[in-house]
Amino acid sequence: MHKQYDVLVVGDLNVDLNLIGEDITPAFEQQEKLVDDAALVVGGSSGIFACQAAKLGLRVAFAGAVGDDAFGHFLTGALTGAGIDTQYVRVDPAVKTGLTVHLVRGNDRAMLTYLGTLGTFDAAHVTADILARTRHVHSGSYFVLPRLRPRLPALFAEARRLGASTSLDTNFDPTGQWDGGIGELLPQVDVFLPNAHELQSIAGVTGIDAAMEALAGRGVGTVAVKLGDAGATARAGAKTVQCAPFPVKVVDTTGAGDSFDAGFIYGYLHGWPLSDALRLGCACGALCATALGGVPGQPALAQACELAGLRVNRE
């Protein structure tokens, strides 16, 4: 059956305000400090993923929520401009659009998040009819979407019943509990995309290889683990592969993980060998990190393939 979308992204969409500087630690008692650069860009793990997936050439639709405010209008406009179908982005007039402030300093950053519409989005409007029209469903930021979380196992199960594959990047759990019902979701996940900390916390096992094996035992088909400036590793079936980091001039790693996810899923959907999908993911992550904010550094397919040493036209 012909599918309208390669990827339906269901998840967090918010504005990111990224500030970079040597001394960006806020000082109270009304002290003012100057920063070196600022960027107001599409944020949310799912939002950044969607932009990278579209930039690689995938046909992407987004299901999420924004407020009826300037940030909400900015986000729907930016996604539309990136070629993403935003007809499933709901506008909630009663709630303000979510916002994260990233304070970027060297290789580190601190985040302050106002959940806004992230706290109310429940994907109730994502019907079987929509799921039947996509090849793949991706969701990001499981732990900061309290209303979506309980619905996700059934949504992923329905998507798979209708022939789609699924992927999940939980990102960080601000509660520190690393549960939130994820045990029910994992068996519905074809591709799990954590970083090393998230992987071990969710698996409840120390050590990357042991934690990947534990998740395979819980029904997750493929696990790709992001290791920051150490690159990444992935496991599918009994096969494990590694990718060393690509050398780039890093400005801000916000969204590197989400851009990695999109690169990896591109390879997955094209049936590439695991090691090539991992290389494309790492190239997207590395190039994302060369600019302030998640989206501005994201590469097109040709640029990512060049860095990764992959041929572009290789269906």
Ligand X SMILES: Nc1ncnc2c1ncn2[C@@H]1O[C@H](COP(=O)(O)OP(=O)(O)OP(=O)(O)O)[C@@H](O)[C@H]1O
Query: Of the two residues 18 and 188, which places its CB atom closer to ligand X in the complex?
Result: 18
Query: Of the two residues 205 and 250, which places its CB atom closer to ligand X in the complex?
Result: 250
Using CB under 6 A, which residues numbered 171 to 210 contact ligand X? 171, 195
Q: Which residues are at the interface with Mg ion (CB under 5 A)?
A: 171, 257
Find the binder of ligand X among 19, 104, 144, 286 (CB under 6 A).
286
Contact in structure between 35 and 21 (CB atoms under 8 Å): yes
By the rule CB under 6 A, 287 interacts with ligand X: no
Find the binder of ligand X among 255, 267, 293, 299 (CB under 6 A).
255
The item of ligand X, Mg ion, none sharing an interface with residue 250, based on CB under 5 to 8 Å by kind, is ligand X
Contact in structure between 189 and 166 (CB atoms under 8 Å): yes
Q: How far is the CB of 232 from ligand X (least distance, A)?
A: 4
Q: Which stretch binds ligand X (CB under 6 A): 9-17, 179-187, 245-253, 304-312?
A: 245-253
Find the binder of ligand X among 11, 72, 98, 257 (CB under 6 A).
257
Q: How far is the CB of 169 from Mg ion (least distance, A)?
A: 6
- Residue-wise burial string across 24-52, b where 16 or more C-beta atoms lie within 10 A, e elsewhere: beeeeeeeeeeeeeebebbbbbbbbbbbb
Q: Which stretch binds ligand X (CB under 6 A): 68-76, 114-122, 208-216, 248-256?
A: 248-256
Q: Which stretch binds ligand X (CB under 6 A): 117-125, 200-208, 246-254, 297-305?
A: 246-254
By the rule CB under 6 A, 226 interacts with ligand X: yes
Query: Of the two residues 88 and 266, which places its CB atom closer to ligand X in the complex?
Result: 266
The item of Mg ion, ligand X, none sharing an interface with residue 140, based on CB under 5 to 8 Å by kind, is none
Q: How far is the CB of 92 from ligand X (least distance, A)?
A: 25
The rounded distance, in Å, linking the Cα atoms of 265 and 59 is: 12
57 exposed, middle or buried (CB, 10 Å; 0-12, 13-18, 19+)?
middle
Query: Of the two residues 87 and 175, which places its CB atom closer to ligand X in the complex?
Result: 175
By the rule CB under 6 A, 289 interacts with ligand X: yes
By the rule CB under 6 A, 258 interacts with ligand X: yes
By the rule CB under 6 A, 227 interacts with ligand X: yes
Q: How far is the CB of 219 from ligand X (least distance, A)?
A: 22
Provide the binding-site residues for ligand X, judged by CB under 6 A: 171, 195, 226-229, 231-232, 245-246, 248, 250, 253-258, 260, 282, 285-286, 289
